[in-house]
Chains A and B, each alone.
Chain A
Amino acid sequence: MSEPLVSIRGLDVRFDGIPALRGIDLDVGKGEAVGLVGESGCGKSVTWLAALGLLPGTAKVTGSVSLGGQELLGAAPATLDSIRGGRVAMIFQDPASALNPVQRVGKQVGEALQLHRGMNAAEARAETRRLFEMVGIPDPARRIDVYPHEMSGGQNQRVMIAMALAGQPELLVADEPTTALDATIQAQILDLLRRLQRETGMALVLISHDLGVVADMCSRVGVMYAGRIVEQAPTDRLFAHPAHPYTQGLLGALPDMVGPRRRLSAIPGGVPEPWNLPQGCAFSPRCDRATAACDAPPPFVAVGNSHDAACIHAHQREKVMA
């Protein structure tokens, strides 16, 4: 990969001394689609909130986040304001709560255009219409003037995407963008994101708890557990040859859609509390391969071409499921 668009190094986040992120290293290339998967509390959302300076002041953030060579951590608020919604846009799970309920949707998108592209009201209105068309909102001329409650969840998410596109972002961070939507609507939104990414050439970071969604959309995936990335690989490789026991556990816990039904291989126990993390590998108490050596922090080992896993047993495990 040539010079990455975003480069995160040693990103650490603590809330009142309690670790939420513990040393994240992640690159996102220009136009690349990267997925981040993991269960609640693993830090997949916090990573991007921290990177974009969106965490409350109580959070202690250290490390480095660079966007095309520009350091974002500790950057002036005005700089971050122009980057957020400009070069980097973010969409969230619940579009209805991200939109202002008492303002017409077109006006909200227009505001972003005036702010980030310096348009006047008339230009913004025309561009909003174009964006609505682009994101597949039917009858855009009329829909510009409706309120969020007059639209369905799927349509509101399209408005959010239009607003994200307003600043012509180089990177769109989508945090569980389809989790609140019905299956057929989820398929529509994923289809839209895929098309927009192709047409605009923007990079996409897709944060999801759903391995299937990430597999469908991304070329590279990072699996997170207890504030760390535990495995990173090209998508096809990750799903065909998962190396980290946690990734293997997640895949085994998913029911199949084809073939005979088998008993799910549940991962025993639960995610550790952040204030009570086990020594060394955070997954070791739930891992059937854990040994005394797992009490030391696991190094990232290369298990294949651009495929790394933070597990000292990764090599021997790989053959088990492949």
Chain B
Amino acid sequence: MSLLRVSNAAQIYTTRRGLFGGRVDVRAVDGVSFDVEPGQTLGIVGESGCGKSTTGRLALGLEKPSEGSVTFEGQAMPAPGTAAWRAMRARMQLVFQDPLGALDRRLTIARQIEEPLEIHTIGDKAERAARVQALLLDVGLRTDHGARHPHELSGGQRQRAVLARALATNPSLLVCDEPVSALDVSIQAQVVNMLTDLQAARGIAMVFISHDLKVVRQVSHKVAVMYLGRIVEQGDPEALFADPVHPYTRALVSAIPVPGPRRIPRIVLSGDPPNPADRPSGCAFHPRCPVAIARCRTESPDLRAFPDGRIVACHLADSETRIAA
């Protein structure tokens, strides 16, 4: 059984167009489905506004989807704020991009790691203190780091502290939203290695949200590419990045500046990602798509399965005749 199952989830926000304009529904997430297996990582990539962070919040039950459903260990997500929801929250944790924002500047690191243990009444005082020390070591900090305040740690150490706190309640799911994007390359590699080690040691499942395709490829067992609220391609990371099928994935992969020769000729898309409040008709990608045909303007493509296990939402993607973009 999947640990987390998101079925056809949509999240609709209502905004106003301008100061006095009428109400507009924005489908930030629009019919997204995926499963996360125990101990596995699902990577979600896409550009700003594609709905990847909202998807993460839906997965954690921080927001209730407007449509569709989210189940965790086979159970429907309880309503936010209830006791059942709080109990479930101990089993799933969130890690953000900015560790300084996620930590309380006035409390020591040890105090902050202990807090979730208190909230979920785990262990007595002595057990909690021992647990905190063990957690510090697990994330590669020293026990004396526990007595420090956030500003006394480097960026990488802070992110380790945030992870220690997230791991305190022994969660089975970790949602990481751009966890290493604010870190320097050499520190990023340390944290990425630590995440994969922790996953191997504890069997934690992860939803890893990032705009950085290279990092996502490194950590994921499965990758979903999102564009304007929908998954446009999903599959095994090595296959997907080596041979992307959806024209958007192709452009995204080709746009990564890499040292050395590139495998896929660079495709530079024209225009900006569209506003989710002003979704293009048919396939949302068609105004920027280099291979769009008339059908793409009117008909939204469904996700279709390919022989190698990936799924792609593109009229032109066909397992026999591949698109020549």
- Which of A's residues lie within 8 Å of B, judged by CB? 39-40, 152, 154-155, 182-188, 190-191, 209-217, 239-240, 249-258, 260-261, 263-268, 270-271
List which B259-314 residues lie within 8 A (CB) of chain A.
Answer: 259-260, 263, 266, 268-270, 272-273, 288
Residue contact A187 to B272, C-beta cutoff 8 Å: no
- 13 further A-B contacts with Cβ under 8 Å, apart from A182-B48, A216-B258, A268-B190, are A182-B211, A182-B273, A184-B269, A187-B255, A190-B257, A212-B256, A214-B257, A239-B259, A249-B186, A250-B185, A258-B242, A263-B193, A270-B157
Top 4 nearest A-B pairs (CB, nearest first) are A212-B257, A253-B189, A187-B255, A39-B184
CA distance A50 to B146 in the complex (A): 39
Q: Which residues of A contact B215 (CB under 8 A)?
A: 255
Residue contact B184 to A209, C-beta cutoff 8 Å: yes
Whether, in the assembled complex, B25 has its beta carbon less than 8 Å from a beta carbon of chain A, the answer is no
Residue contact A251 to B255, C-beta cutoff 8 Å: no
CA distance A261 to B189 in the complex (A): 13
Q: Which residues of A contact B259 (CB under 8 A)?
A: 211-212, 215, 239, 251, 254
Q: Which residues of B contact A183 (CB under 8 A)?
A: 47, 211, 213, 252, 255-256
Whether, in the assembled complex, B2 has its beta carbon less than 8 Å from a beta carbon of chain A, the answer is no
CB-contact partner of A184 in B156, B196, B255, under 8 A: B255
Q: Which residues of B contact A257 (CB under 8 A)?
A: 213-214, 217, 241, 253, 256, 258, 263
Interface size of B by CB at 8 A reads 43
Whether, in the assembled complex, B104 has its beta carbon less than 8 Å from a beta carbon of chain A, the answer is no
CA distance A155 to B241 in the complex (A): 28
Residue contact A250 to B214, C-beta cutoff 8 Å: no
Given the interface contacts A215-B257, A215-B259, A257-B241, does A185 sit within 8 Å of B193 by beta carbon?
A: no
Q: Which residues of B contact A213 (CB under 8 A)?
A: 257
CA distance A261 to B266 in the complex (A): 23
User: What is the distance, in angstroms, from B156's C-beta to the closest C-beta of chain A?
Assistant: 6
Residue contact A155 to B257, C-beta cutoff 8 Å: no
Residue contact A211 to B272, C-beta cutoff 8 Å: no
List 7 A-B pairs, Cβ < 8 Å.
Answer: A183-B252, A184-B251, A187-B255, A188-B269, A215-B259, A251-B259, A257-B263
User: What is the distance, in angstroms, from A218's C-beta to the closest C-beta of chain B?
Assistant: 11
> Closest chain A residue to B190 by CB distance?
A266
Residue contact B213 to A264, C-beta cutoff 8 Å: no
Q: Which residues of B contact A251 (CB under 8 A)?
A: 259
User: What is the distance, in angstroms, from A186's C-beta to the closest C-beta of chain B?
Assistant: 7
Q: Which residues of A contact B254 (CB under 8 A)?
A: 187
Whether, in the assembled complex, B188 has its beta carbon less than 8 Å from a beta carbon of chain A, the answer is yes
Residue contact B186 to A250, C-beta cutoff 8 Å: yes
Given the interface contacts A183-B47, A188-B269, A267-B189, does A255 sit within 8 Å of B214 by beta carbon?
A: yes
CB-contact partner of A253 in B157, B185, B257, B272, under 8 A: B185
Q: Which residues of A contact B154 (CB under 8 A)?
A: 270
Q: Which residues of B contact A210 (CB under 8 A)?
A: 257
CA distance A209 to B188 in the complex (A): 12
Whether, in the assembled complex, B218 has its beta carbon less than 8 Å from a beta carbon of chain A, the answer is yes
Q: Contact flags (1/0) for B189-224 with A, using CB distance below 8 Å?
A: 110110010000000000000010111011000000
* Interface hub of B184, B187, B237, B268 (most chain A Cβ within 10 A): B184
Q: Which residues of A contact B272 (CB under 8 A)?
A: 152, 154-155, 185
Given the interface contacts A187-B266, A188-B268, A257-B256, does A39 sit within 8 Å of B48 by beta carbon?
A: no
User: What is the distance, in angstroms, from A221's C-beta to the closest C-beta of chain B?
Assistant: 10
CA distance A183 to B272 in the complex (A): 11
Given the interface contacts A215-B258, A267-B189, does A255 sit within 8 Å of B273 by beta carbon?
A: no
Residue contact A184 to B47, C-beta cutoff 8 Å: yes
User: What is the distance, in angstroms, from B150's C-beta to the closest C-beta of chain A?
Assistant: 16
Residue contact B184 to A265, C-beta cutoff 8 Å: no
Given the interface contacts A154-B272, A256-B214, A258-B242, does A209 sit within 8 Å of B255 by beta carbon?
A: no
Q: Which residues of A contact B189 (CB under 8 A)?
A: 252-254, 264-267
> Closest chain B residue to A240 by CB distance?
B260
Residue contact A266 to B193, C-beta cutoff 8 Å: yes
Q: Which residues of A contact B268 (CB under 8 A)?
A: 184, 187-188, 191
CA distance A265 to B251 in the complex (A): 28
Whether, in the assembled complex, B238 has its beta carbon less than 8 Å from a beta carbon of chain A, the answer is yes
User: What is the distance, in angstroms, from B89's C-beta to the closest C-beta of chain A?
Assistant: 31
Residue contact B260 to A215, C-beta cutoff 8 Å: yes
Residue contact A264 to B241, C-beta cutoff 8 Å: no
CA distance A30 to B211 in the complex (A): 36
CA distance A239 to B186 in the complex (A): 16
Given the interface contacts A154-B272, A270-B156, A271-B184, does A186 sit within 8 Å of B217 by beta carbon?
A: no
> Closest chain B residue to A271 by CB distance?
B184
> Closest chain A residue to B273 by CB distance?
A182
Q: Which residues of A contact B214 (CB under 8 A)?
A: 254-257
Residue contact B48 to A255, C-beta cutoff 8 Å: no
User: What is the distance, in angstroms, from B154's C-beta to the closest C-beta of chain A?
Assistant: 5
User: What is the distance, in angstroms, from B190's C-beta to the closest C-beta of chain A?
Assistant: 4
User: What is the distance, in angstroms, from A231's C-beta to the closest C-beta of chain B?
Assistant: 14
Residue contact B211 to A264, C-beta cutoff 8 Å: no
CA distance A253 to B184 in the complex (A): 10
